[in-house]
Amino acid sequence: MAWHIARQPGGLVALAIQYGHLRTVLDTDVASGYGTRSRRGIHDLIDIETAISTAETAADLHERYNRGEGASGPAARQALNQASTIRRFEDTAVKADFARKYLARDGTVLYDNPHALLLCRYKRDLALCERSASSTTPALDRCVTGCANTVRTDHHAQQLRDRADSLASRALNLPQPIADRLLVTAGQLRNLADTHDRTRITCQEART
């Protein structure tokens, strides 16, 4: 189940939402039907799948950058540096203890957030979504625009424009107050994409 959640469309957003739900569900009433070992087991699986997914996200960023895509955002340079040395877990059995330590490396783990159309280089004291001292993962489903942990690629900029176009097209068939709200959101998405275009760094520029 954890593998499925981590890899379905929506990726880690779904995982984050589901993860919170799972923890809540497993730690409270419904858990009364489960043993402690069962609860630990599902938490272990989710930690392992989260660690593998974040490593895949970093590897994907590294590949995109080396293929010539640009990256922007306050955390872009750090994320690119970290992604260039990321360890891949292909053909490696990842243990739960290792996964938890891997995910606890504050400021170095890169989460995909397709809901917000960005990557999150999670550094706890910079996070606008979650400031709890005990939190070791971002609240991806409560992402806040302008967070210093944000990274965007050219692919995200294109997705922002696609989403803006979709909203604008839906607005054509809706009553004015609702249409206006959608058009405002579409404009905000296009602004984010334009900001990416103006501030993106590329591998070619970094080498010159």
Residues that bind ligand SF4 (CB under 6 A): 113, 120, 122, 127-129, 138-140, 143-144, 147, 149-150
Q: In sequence order, which residues have a C-beta less than 8 Å from that of residue 13 and are 6 or more positions away?
A: 113, 114, 115, 140, 141
Residues β-bridged to residue 113: 118
Contact 61, 151 (CB under 8 A): yes
Q: How far is the CB of 20 from ligand SF4 (least distance, A)?
A: 13
Residue closer to ligand SF4, measured from CB, 99 or 117: 117
Residue closer to ligand SF4, measured from CB, 47 or 150: 150
Q: How far apart are CA 69 and CA 191, in angstroms?
A: 19
- The tokens describing 194, both together, are 């334009």
Q: How far is the CB of 169 from ligand SF4 (least distance, A)?
A: 27
The phi and psi torsions of 8 (rounded to 5 degrees) equal: -75, 160
201 DSSP assignment: B
Q: How far is the CB of 49 from ligand SF4 (least distance, A)?
A: 18
- The tokens describing 23, both together, are 């923890």
Residue closer to ligand SF4, measured from CB, 91 or 125: 125
Residue closer to ligand SF4, measured from CB, 150 or 171: 150
Q: How far is the CB of 193 from ligand SF4 (least distance, A)?
A: 17
